[in-house]
Amino acid sequence: MKKFIFFAAVVFSFTLHAQSNAIIYQKNGKNIPASVKFEQISNYQNLKYADENGNTQSIVASQLDSVVSNSRKFILKSKSFEDQIYLMKLLVGGYSNLYFFKDKYRKPHYIAEHPSYGMQELVQTSTKANSSGKTYNNQTKKYLGTLSILFGDCKPEKLGHTSLSNRSLSAVFISYNECKKQQGYVADEISENSKLRFALLGGVNFTTIHSAFESIDTFDSQTGPEAGIEIAYVPTALKSKINVLLGINYSKKGGETVYPYQNYDKVVIEYPMIGLDFAVRYHFLPATSKINPFLGMYVNKSFILNSRDERMKKVAENGNSAPYVDLDLQFNSSMNLAFGPQLGIDYLISKNSGLILLAKTYNLDDGHNYFQAKGAAVQIGYFYQL
């Protein structure tokens, strides 16, 4: 468990020392290499970032021209709205631009920028109406009228079905810009689709087996190998922060303890197992992030591969051994369902591949409360996503 806690501390401290991932372009012509947490921006008038020395700095939007990530996944531009200067997130760029930001009251805003009409806010109003003793919310989609005017020279077919959301608005802006033959930039969060991710992992486990028999003490902690495959579904509907996974994992867990009976010195227990996992993980950042820590919960069903005589043996000092036989002792072919936490970090090497570091704890029992295997496992692996 101490190793697991130490690993957790290393994982999250590692995320705090990310290298510069963006360039801040100031209005005075100076450029600043910086580490910007684009996904965590909450104040669109004052940008916080880490400089090249890792020190936290801030700069107001009125001093900036734009902020561009090295991969161009994120672009922020300094724009005026209601006599205030904001850093607006560019969702679609081209003949007409679509921006998103939140004001000082945390209210979200969508802004259209058009060569002929300038900056226009896309709004939806809501009013309450009473009828027959019931209260109803009436919504007026004013943004549809605004878009009809802006896109009047090349109106998208699905304009009337547009909702006030990132993806829906972006779709009609892209359609309009393509009609004008001037479609340029699309933010990664808009163009990204749901993905299937395949990973190969290997590592070690640290196990202590507890016994319910008075004649057998708790087994010494031992390390054993781990290897597995997992398939993850990454849905963009949840902004790619929640993954659902299925996995199959091979592990060997065991230990030994003193057994001064019948001319034997110790009892050795060994469980080579195949485990089936179902897990849900929450990533703190979108799947496009270079470094992405996560927490998760999993359920496991493990099946024991060796025979009863091979699982538990009495061993003498000269190396002679015999199966541990007890008329009251029964061995199931599988362990009970187990639940446990996991945490780790994804590191993107390219857009569709990367490394994963994973740690989890487990508490397995044989269904008869004879033996209980507790411990933690650490794995590292490679993943590729389609």
Structural domain includes residue 128: yes
Structural domain includes residue 1: no
Please compute, for residue 271, the number of CA atoms within 13 A of its CA located in the half-sphere on the CB side: 29
Last residue of a domain, one of 191, 215, 249: 191
Task: Return the ∠ at Cα 219 (arms to 361 and 377), rounded to 5°.
Answer: 20
The values of phi and psi at residue 11, to 5°, are -60, -50
The pLDDT score that the predictor gives to residue 97 is 97
Residue 202 sits in the same domain as residue 333: yes
C-alpha radius of gyration, the chain, whole number: 29
Q: How far apart are CA 161 and CA 267, in angstroms?
A: 71
Q: How far apart are CA 77 and CA 113, in angstroms?
A: 12
Q: How far apart are CA 246 and CA 334, in angstroms?
A: 19
Last residue of a domain, one of 191, 220, 237: 191
Structural domain includes residue 10: no
Residue 176 sits in the same domain as residue 290: no
The pLDDT score that the predictor gives to residue 1 is 52
Residue 256 sits in the same domain as residue 275: yes
The pLDDT score that the predictor gives to residue 132 is 67
Structural domain includes residue 12: no
In 330-370 the beta strands, taken as DSSP E runs, fall at 338-350, 353-365
The pLDDT score that the predictor gives to residue 15 is 46
Q: Enter the pTM of the model.
A: 0.62
Residue 213 sits in the same domain as residue 307: yes
Residue 313 sits in the same domain as residue 327: yes
Contact between 158 and 174 (Cβ < 8 Å):
no
The pLDDT score that the predictor gives to residue 200 is 98
The pLDDT score that the predictor gives to residue 237 is 60
Q: How far apart are CA 370 and CA 216, in angstroms?
A: 11
Paired strand residues for 170? none
Domain that includes residue 287, residue range: 195-385
Residue 57 sits in the same domain as residue 182: yes
CA nearest 361: which of 346, 377, 343, 350? 377
Residue 84 sits in the same domain as residue 224: no
Structural domain includes residue 7: no
Q: What averages of pLDDT result for each successive group of 10 residues across the chain (386 residues)?
A: 52 52 93 88 91 90 93 90 92 96 91 95 82 70 94 91 92 95 89 86 92 69 94 76 94 84 82 95 84 96 87 83 69 87 94 93 80 92 94
| Count of domains forming the chain | 2
Contact between 302 and 335 (Cβ < 8 Å):
yes
CATH code where residue 374 lies: 2.40.160.20
The pLDDT score that the predictor gives to residue 257 is 81
Residue 136 sits in the same domain as residue 218: no
Q: How far apart are CA 277 and CA 350, in angstroms?
A: 27
Q: How far apart are CA 142 and CA 155, in angstroms?
A: 16
Last residue of a domain, one of 165, 191, 217: 191
Residue 168 sits in the same domain as residue 260: no
Structural domain includes residue 74: yes
Q: How far apart are CA 93 and CA 49, in angstroms?
A: 24
